[in-house]
Amino acid sequence: MRLARIVTEVLSPAVVVTVLPLAVAWQATGYAAGPTLLWWVLTAVFFSVLPMIFIVRGARQGRWDGHHIRDREHRALPLLMGLSSAAVGLVIMLFGRAPRDVIAMAASMIATLLVCLVITRWWKVSLHATVAAGAMTLIILLFGPRYLLLLVPLALVCWSRVRLTDHTVAQVVIGALLGPVVGGAVFLLLP
């Protein structure tokens, strides 16, 4: 149980969505430190930090059962807030003329979050698995198939969510498919 909790926290959506933009911005800016830092911080703030502040604050106020929001019925508002924050971040990126890959990553995350929001209305899909699989897909698309090794942490995320009884096997499998299918498709289709 302890290992499952550690994996769930270390590879949580908030952490992954904070780290992924660094890799994408680094590659998209031609490994230039200044622009990489700018696009990384912007993405991290609007796609991870602000939504997590809202979620943690709501959990502390008793609006939901914790920062992972285990109860499906309570996920809509935090997901809508995350979607709104991400949309603002994307608009800033567009006006700031962010590199194509940074914009495509942001759009792919928004599209995936939107699909998860719709599904969550009826069923509790694993956001941990969705985000981990989507991030893995973008890294493979950008840096090559040698990063298929990221299947190992993805499998650990899926295992941890089931082990902690936060999700069923079906919920993590569907989540692990949504990230690559929705996120990967949007990333590839944007000009």
Q: Which residues contact 41 (CB under 8 A, 6 or more apart)?
A: none
- DSSP code of residue 189: H
pLDDT for res 191? 80
pLDDT for res 70? 86
> Which residue bears the tokens 């498919």?
177
Backbone angles phi, psi at 96, to 5 degrees: -85, 0
Q: What is the mean pLDDT of each successive set of 10 residues along the chain, which is 191 residues long?
A: 95 97 95 93 97 95 90 93 97 97 98 97 96 98 97 98 97 98 96 80
